[in-house]
Amino acid sequence: MKRAVAVLLVFVMLSSVVSPAMADKPKVTEQKPVKTIGFAKLKPVKPPKVIKPAKKLKPTEGDWKFVKDVMYDLTEKEKNRIINEAKKIYEGNSKLSKKEQTKILQTIAYYITIATESSGDVGILWSYDTHEDLSYTAGDNLNYVTSAHKNTLKSYATWADDHREEPTEFNVTQNRHSWVIGDIPVPGYDNYGPDSLELYLNRARNQFEQGNVEEAYVYIGKALHYIEDLGNPFHTSSVYGQAHHIGYESWVSNHWSELKSAMYVNEYYIITDPSEDAKNFAAFSHQYLQQICDIMNTPGWENNQQLNEQLKSITRTLISETMKYTMGMIVYATKFESPDTAGSNYVPIYDHQTSYVNINDVACSDQVLAIVEIDHTYPADLSKTAGLSC
């Protein structure tokens, strides 16, 4: 395998006598980026803040019917008991203890997860292929990720769906990759999405710092799944709308060829706090949940052209926004300042990580020799400026 490590070496050789004449005359070398094609054309923008508070969404009779249907191995009596209790919990008049209430909600979450999130089935939005497409394209859009690493992102795009017990440090039962808004989050199932994302992105950064580029991209690949899921409104509710979860996923899958061009964006979001930014994104996609459900609650919507166009427009918005966040997450994990290198004469740059060399404080003369040696596997976006002020 090609070693995708870039090494920047800066040697500073000083003459034994610093010429006073030179010291008086500040000399600044021309500052120009080595290469900025591609990535530099993309616009980094701040993610729009969602400030409108979400309204409470109560599961509909259709949702409860769906819940009843998916509890496949329970008796009719047991199903009815659970649903009646759950309805009381949602109404706020359950007589059960908090612990018992949680148990009821967990039972429901367990069956919904099996029905809507099992891997290998259509029931994953974005579906299996769609996750792969999103992760790969996010890397591709950025213009600086190597083919090998784009493939790594693709290979790990669905890892989280096959490892719902991860990250194990969160003690999850079944990680639904969600951030629940306007509904009741279920312990063990919900609200681990943003933190899972951040955990793996920071692990990627740690790997970069140790020079383990391949492992870094594996972690990025794992992480991206969580942000992609949050672009799906059905990952922002626990019971509400779940009756349409699979139906919407299938619809997206079936119309993917008409929708996928929404992935080609020319800007990405500046990510400063992955988990907080992910929650903000969940609030964004959540705004469309009721609209999607309303469309899908309309009898005959599948053959109604106007409703299909509406759904396409919403979905295209969601796909574009998902892409901008996904790209931003890659940038967050790959382009961060290296440890302070002031005074050192050896600065490693691992793959796409941006490093800064600070040699401002080194005494110098016109005999200072700075050698920048770059051993790169591709003509990358190295926004390096070699500035010397003496």
- Residue 7 has φ and ψ, to the nearest 5°, of -120, 130
Cβ of residue 193: shortest distance to Zn ion, in angstroms? 8
Cβ of residue 164: shortest distance to Zn ion, in angstroms? 8
Of the pair 64, 226, the CB lying nearest Zn ion is at 226
Of the pair 146, 196, the CB lying nearest Zn ion is at 196
Residues that bind Zn ion (CB under 5 A): 161, 177, 229
Q: In this structure, what token pair is assigned to residue 166?
A: 């991860």
Of the pair 133, 229, the CB lying nearest Zn ion is at 229
Among candidate residues 304, 313, 326, 290, the one with its CA nearest the CA of residue 130:
326
User: Which residues on adjacent β-strands are paired with residue 268?
Assistant: 44
Cβ of residue 294: shortest distance to Zn ion, in angstroms? 24
CA distance 369 to 390: 12
Q: Is the CA virtual torsion 126, 133, 201, 315 positive or negative?
A: negative
Cβ of residue 176: shortest distance to Zn ion, in angstroms? 8
Return the H-helix or E-strand segment holding 105. Answer: helix 98-117
Cβ of residue 158: shortest distance to Zn ion, in angstroms? 8
Of the pair 8, 125, the CB lying nearest Zn ion is at 125
CA distance 95 to 85: 9
Of the pair 113, 146, the CB lying nearest Zn ion is at 113
CA distances from 38 to 265, 361, 380 (A): 13, 33, 9
Of the pair 226, 350, the CB lying nearest Zn ion is at 226
Contact 11, 345 (CB under 8 A): yes
Cβ of residue 177: shortest distance to Zn ion, in angstroms? 4
